[in-house]
Amino acid sequence: MSIVLPPSAYPRSAYPPDVVPARVRRRLLELAEGPEPVSAYVYDGEVAAGRARELREALPEWAAVHYAVKANSFPGVVRALAPYVDGFEVASRAELELALAALRERDREDVPVVAAGPAKSVPVLTALVRAGVEAINAESALELHRISRIAVAEGTTARVALRVNPAGIPVTGSLRMGGEPSQFGVPEPDVPAVLAEALRLPGVEVTGFHIHAASNNLDADSQAACLRWCVEWSARTARAAGFALRHVDVGGGIGVAFEELAGEKPFDVARFGELAARVEPPPGVKVVLEPGRFLVADCGWYAAEVTDVKHSYGSAFAVLRGGINHFQLPTSWDLVHNVAVLPVDRWPEGLPRPEAAGARVTVVGELCTPEDTLLRDVRVDRVRAGDLVVFPYAGSYGWEFAMHSFLGHPVAERHLL
């Protein structure tokens, strides 16, 4: 009987240290000189800005890039992206405030913010209505009624895009939020009835649709086919319902090759832009994309100090000051986040310094659970207690996605280059 291993257990060798950019290495070694064991994220805002420029320049004029703040809400990263994106996508009051602050710094008078989330509370909806955001992506008939009631009480009208869960869509990804039963959006067969109800509400202005069905797709052709499908479906549905379509939000979904350094093929932005340019939205329709992971994944590195190297029944373990309480994504999604080992020369005199050399090592964290395992059986030239284990591609869903409070250890620091 064959045993099927998860991707995190496939044999691989650690990256060489020079995979980590020189200025990131310098910053991490500076942190290693401090009194506390290192457990930190380092972000490079210029990398995120470069990704945003690359995508924006590849797309036609009718497309708008709204950064999904949930991917990385560190204020320095949000500010670095602000000049190079058309707006923001938010899912909470805290994210809304970050987006508004970044827009104020750019002297923007409009509010190019779209808002998502399957369970928006009345306080969240109230903040969105008061801010006058570009579109609230309404998830249900009840949410539409709540938005209308709040808007009427505020003496205004809220712009709304109806979130749709399509029956089928030409795109795949590691996460699916459409084309199957889910808590997201209105099922496609129910759209006509819900849309008719929305068009009668006094505090709601329906401007279009939000269709985000999958995430982390690396295939540019299918991503472009999805965009085309969303635009064409939205145009047909708006005509049938009798309202002027002005807004189509196709969500995020552009993927990241987490093992690009080992040869995994990245998303082809130029090809996606070329295919997107062949789509013809109706005149005056804005097509919104909400990339998050794609813009920020490779702008961040998570580094944790090796507190011990342990050998147990023929296996070696590098035990980190950190783990899923700081960087949960590899475990929760079983994504492969390979590592580089950054040697640190400093070590207290008189203490033994355990190591593993020319061996396969499993990288684990400090929590009292065997689930705190970030990478299995990676071959290292050498790793010692006191060295730093560095995870590239940690700029998205890293610090924000972690279990900060479990066991009460200090949270990971965050630093902007």
Active site residues: 368
d(CA 189, CA 195): 11
Q: Give, as one character, the DSSP assignment of residue 39.
A: E
- What is residue 316's three-state secondary structure? strand
Q: Give, as one character, the DSSP assignment of residue 186.
A: E
Distance (Å) of CA 145 to CA 141, 149, 194: 6, 6, 11
Strand runs (DSSP E) across 8-52, as ranges?
A: 12-13, 39-43
d(CA 47, CA 393): 11
Q: Give, as one character, the DSSP assignment of residue 278.
A: T
Q: How far is CA 385 from the centre of its chain?
A: 32
d(CA 231, CA 280): 8
- Per residue, the 3-state secondary structure of 195-259, as one string, reads HHHHHHCCCEEEEEEECCCEECECCHHHHHHHHHHHHHHHHHHHHHHCCCCCEEECCCCECCCCC
d(CA 365, CA 75): 27
DSSP output for 353-405 = --EEEEEEEEEE-SSSSTT-EEEEEEEEEEEETT-EEEESS-SSSSGGGS-TT
d(CA 340, CA 14): 6
**Residue labelled with tokens 């700029």:** 395
Please tell me the number of Cα atoms within 13 Å of 100 on its side-chain side: 14
DSSP output for 59-119 = S-TTEEEEEEGGG---HHHHHHHGGGSSEEEESSHHHHHHHHHHHHHTT--S--EEE--TT
Distance (Å) of CA 144 to CA 72, 129, 199, 210, 394: 28, 12, 10, 14, 36
- Dihedral of the alpha carbons of 320, 322, 327, 329, in degrees to the nearest 10: 50
